């Protein structure tokens, strides 16, 4: 199935990255957020990324203009109505995602695929808000989208083989490597592995065993990871780590290993969500 028009719901960290990679493969893209200011911020982020690519000699200036020209930012949901696929990237809240999918289901023709970039949540439950659960799946990109190679393709209970094949093919056209998550299970592969790692790192700091900086140094140099867990949380959003941990606790038998450390909750209450708020575990205000 040829993808000509791609809809993206949410122009935040992930939404604008997804819009960019979709436009880079020649598709027309409509990126929708709830306020003009958020749409503009998303468009600016794309412009900034592409401008750096031009400066580095990786992209022609004319190609940058062509990519930007294929992206339309809007607050109008109905602009997505003739998309071949819509990829949802609103915040990690199940009720919000379900209401977005219900609205998209009523708006888009039955053949449109509806994909979610959720980090952890049930595709079966999201799909149940629509009348086309066979054409709903997870398409989990990683941050920053234009640079990170992996996309997890996740099956809900009723996702068809055709939907998996089409979304996987689209991700590959975007230059990504795909893995198939065969069963709908919280956090899929990567976050199921990563969240315990983040929780332990916070507990080590909370218990006074080591500093934030030293935990990051230890993980980078002892495990050969490119980033430490605190640097990674600041990049991806401390709120996302918290929402995912809370979801795991609820969904994975309320096991104590998924309980959010107090320090994580304190960061959320203080509004210190990472780079996007100018500060998190580290300060980015300067
Ligand atoms: N940040 C990451 O590293 C990362 C990685 C992979 C997946 N995800 C997932 O991607 C999704 C988005 O995360 P993010 O980091 O981009 O969040 P974000 O907070 O940066 O952006 C979310 C955007 O959604 C918008 N929004 C809210 N309700 C909306 C609606 N009804 N219609 C359109 N837009 C709406 C918000 O205004 C905001 O601009 C979440 O499900 C998250 O779990 C995040």
Ligand 1 atom 33, closest CA: 33
Across the range 185-212, mean pLDDT stands at 96
Q: To test ligand 1's pocket by mutation, which of 91, 107, 192 has the most ligand atoms within 8 angstroms of CB?
A: 91
Is residue 97 within 8 Å of 126, Cβ to Cβ? yes
- Residues of the chain within CATH 3.40.50.720 domain(s) are 5-181
What is the token pair recorded at 280?
A: 């998190």
What is the token pair recorded at 101?
A: 């999918």
Atom of ligand 1 nearest to the CA of 38: 39
Helices (H), the chain: 13-24, 36-55, 61-69, 94-107, 123-127, 161-173, 190-206, 212-222, 229-236, 238-251, 262-269
3-state secondary structure of 8: strand
CATH number of 5-181: 3.40.50.720
**What value does the mean pLDDT of the chain take?**
97
Radius of gyration of the chain (CA): 19
Q: To test ligand 1's pocket by mutation, which of 90, 103, 154, 234 has the most ligand atoms within 8 angstroms of CB?
A: 90
Judge whether 35 counts as a catalytic residue: no
Judge whether 140 counts as a catalytic residue: yes
> Has residue 203 got a pLDDT over 90?
yes
Q: In what order do the strands lie in the sheet with 5-9?
A: 71-74, 28-32, 5-9, 85-88, 113-116, 136-141, 150-155, 177-181
Give ligand 1 pocket residues (Cβ under 6 A). 9-15, 32-34, 38, 89-92, 96, 100, 117-119, 141-143, 236-237, 240
Judge whether 191 counts as a catalytic residue: yes
Task: Give the burial string for 46-65 (b: 16+ CB within 10 Å, else e).
Answer: bbebbeebeeeeebeeeebe
Across the range 76-97, mean pLDDT stands at 97
How long is the chain?
A: 286
Is residue 8 within 8 Å of 19, Cβ to Cβ? yes
The DSSP letter of residue 210 is: S
Atom of ligand 1 nearest to the CA of 35: 37
d(CA 129, CA 133): 8
Share of the chain above pLDDT 70, in %: 100
Name the residue with higher pLDDT: 229 or 254: 229
Nearest to 86 by CA among 181, 180, 170, 187: 170
> Has residue 14 got a pLDDT over 90?
yes
- Provide the β-strand partners of residue 141: 151
Ligand 1 atom 15, closest CA: 13
Reported as a single tens digit per residue, the pLDDT across 89-138 is 999 899 999 999 999 999 999 999 999 999 999 999 999 999 999 999 99
CA of 37 to the centre of ligand 1 (A): 15
- Residues of the chain within CATH 1.10.1040.10 domain(s) are 191-276
Which one is catalytic: 16, 45, 119, 168? 119
3-state secondary structure of 29: strand
> Has residue 68 got a pLDDT over 80?
yes
- Let me know if 255 is exposed, middle or buried by CB neighbors in 10 A (0-12, 13-18, 19+): exposed
Q: pTM to 2 decimals?
A: 0.93
Ligand 1 atom 27, closest CA: 90
Is residue 123 within 8 Å of 156, Cβ to Cβ? yes
- 25, 119, 261, 267: CA torsion to nearest 10: 50
Ligand 1 atom 8, closest CA: 119
CA of 201 to the centre of ligand 1 (A): 25
Reported as a single tens digit per residue, the pLDDT across 266-276 is 999 999 999 99
CATH number of 191-276: 1.10.1040.10
């Amino acid at each position: 199935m040829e993808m000509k028009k791609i809809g993206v719901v949410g122009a935040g960290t992930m939404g604008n990255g997804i819009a960019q990679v979709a436009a880079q493969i020649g598709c027309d893209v409509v990126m929708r957020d709830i306020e003009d200011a958020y749409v503009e911020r998303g468009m600016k982020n794309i412009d900034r990324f592409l401008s750096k690519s031009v400066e580095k000699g990786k992209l022609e200036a004319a190609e940058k203009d062509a990519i930007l020209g294929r992206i339309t930012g809007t607050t109008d949901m109905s602009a997505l109505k003739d998309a071949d696929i819509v990829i949802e990237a609103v915040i990690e809240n199940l009720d919000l995602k379900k209401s977005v999918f219900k609205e998209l289901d009523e708006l888009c023709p039955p053949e449109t695929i509806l994909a979610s970039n959720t980090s952890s949540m049930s595709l079966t439950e999201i799909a149940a808000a629509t009348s086309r659960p066979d054409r709903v799946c997870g398409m989990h990109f990683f941050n920053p989208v234009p640079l990170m190679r992996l996309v997890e393709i996740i099956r809900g209970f009723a996702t068809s083989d055709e939907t998996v094949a089409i979304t996987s093919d689209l991700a590959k056209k975007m230059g990504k490597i795909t893995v198939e998550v065969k069963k709908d299970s919280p956090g899929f592969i990567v976050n199921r592995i990563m969240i315990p790692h983040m929780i332990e790192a916070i507990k080590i700091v909370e218990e006074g065993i080591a500093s934030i900086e030293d935990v990051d140094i230890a993980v980078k140099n002892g495990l050969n990871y490119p980033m430490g867990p605190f640097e990674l949380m600041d990049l991806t959003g401390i709120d996302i780590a918290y929402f995912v941990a809370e979801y795991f606790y609820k969904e994975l038998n309320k096991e104590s290993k998924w309980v959010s450390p107090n320090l994580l909750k304190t960061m959320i209450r203080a509004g210190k969500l990472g780079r996007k708020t100018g500060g998190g575990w580290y300060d980015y205000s300067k």
